[in-house]
Structure 1
């Protein structure tokens, strides 16, 4: 169960993104936040034709590049979305609709720690959209970021994170390729939402 002392997220205050169209959710459905130019999303969809992936990117030029590649490959199980992930998730996804979440090399927000994913009240809402016994994966090349995320997972979200080093041959994102080629260490945090985990949004659906 989440820590009820945390400031509560207020999804009812968020408007749908411009041009929002609610997707038809198929199962199993995965979500990638911050897809960039789509390297991981395209590989995941290609390698897992039985799984559906929604991949969200906010930056216009990155999204355009991603969308062009997706169209060329004609991957029916991939839905590229150009939007801010928070209002889009609020208005598009119902409770326990996700079979997994990827947040790979997010902006570390060095001047605004409150905007890091596991520090935000929104993270509770995101957990409510995940099915029981499903996994969230977060990756970064910043040791302080992964250490803070690990502590927040334990203290705020009452979860049991697993931290591992990313394999030196991994090529999930352009950032990952660049960091590993420079000899940097990259870390991965894995969270499993346990059976019976409760949030304050388990019954909340956008009107």
Structure 2
């Protein structure tokens, strides 16, 4: 099925990846340098102190997770825990996720993406993930039938994300309330302990889904 002709995101301002410089001290992780990486590649954006990343890598030895955190103190806490464990299927990255993805991730290479409890950007909704032109680029890095999992405790955020997924990005999705005993991140534990409701939006990239970046990558990346 060809989605290119009826996707309303083609009318949005296009993301401009060529304008982004590499993150400071940028290198391609070993996991992405392997010629024949057989493990499905998963990306986590905003890994915080690494609670979900460490648990995911432990519970999914058949997958390789790249977990990105921008904030220095959170990343350092994450990295300390990472060094105490023997997890060769986890790559922690300290960088801005947008620039890093542009320079490091090839088209159609990710089996899944986690965005768990992002900054709600309530005063700047253009910076919410599904409102950004970058989201189209992110979809181009995802394999067909790959999933993006977004979780938040902000009802207005999940309402907007659901609307954008349906109307702008035209992605099949499911919306669910997070179970009360879920403990993927420190934020999730805190919110649920306060009896707050949390939501998850699971979006799937269909076969034949096209973006304007399906063949775009940095010339000197691979």
Q: Give me the TM-score of the superposition, normalised by structure 1.
A: 0.98
- Mapping for residues 1-207 of structure 1, pairs under 5 Å: 1=3, 2=7, 3-23=9-29, 24-25=31-32, 26=37, 27-207=39-219
Unaligned runs of 5+ in 1: none
Unaligned runs of 5+ in 2: none
Secondary structure, aligned partner of 2:106: coil
> Deviations for 1:95-114, whole angstroms, at most 9, x for unmatched residues?
01101000000000011000
8 Å CA contact 1:57–1:63 kept in 2: the answer is yes
Report the Cα distance in structure 1 between the residues aligned to 2:170 and 2:151, rounded to whole angstroms.
20
8 Å CA contact 2:172–2:206 kept in 1: the answer is no
Report the Cα distance in structure 1 between the residues aligned to 2:55 and 2:128, rounded to whole angstroms.
26
Report the Cα distance in structure 1 between the residues aligned to 2:132 and 2:194, rounded to whole angstroms.
31
Report the Cα distance in structure 1 between the residues aligned to 2:161 and 2:122, rounded to whole angstroms.
14
> Deviations for 1:181-206, whole angstroms, at most 9, x for unmatched residues?
00000000000000110000000011
8 Å CA contact 2:57–2:89 kept in 1: the answer is yes
Report the Cα distance in structure 1 between the residues aligned to 2:181 and 2:170, rounded to whole angstroms.
32
8 Å CA contact 1:33–1:55 kept in 2: the answer is yes
8 Å CA contact 1:32–1:101 kept in 2: the answer is yes
8 Å CA contact 2:46–2:116 kept in 1: the answer is yes
Q: Paired residues, what number?
A: 207
Report the Cα distance in structure 1 between the residues aligned to 2:211 and 2:170, rounded to whole angstroms.
11
> Deviations for 1:116-166, whole angstroms, at most 9, x for unmatched residues?
000000000000000000111000001000000000111110112210000
Once superposed, what is the RMSD of the aligned Cα atoms? Answer: 0.8
Q: Give me the TM-score of the superposition, normalised by structure 2.
A: 0.92
Report the Cα distance in structure 2 between the residues aligned to 1:38 and 1:72, rounded to whole angstroms.
13
Report the Cα distance in structure 2 between the residues aligned to 1:71 and 1:195, rounded to whole angstroms.
38
Report the Cα distance in structure 1 between the residues aligned to 2:175 and 2:73, rounded to whole angstroms.
32
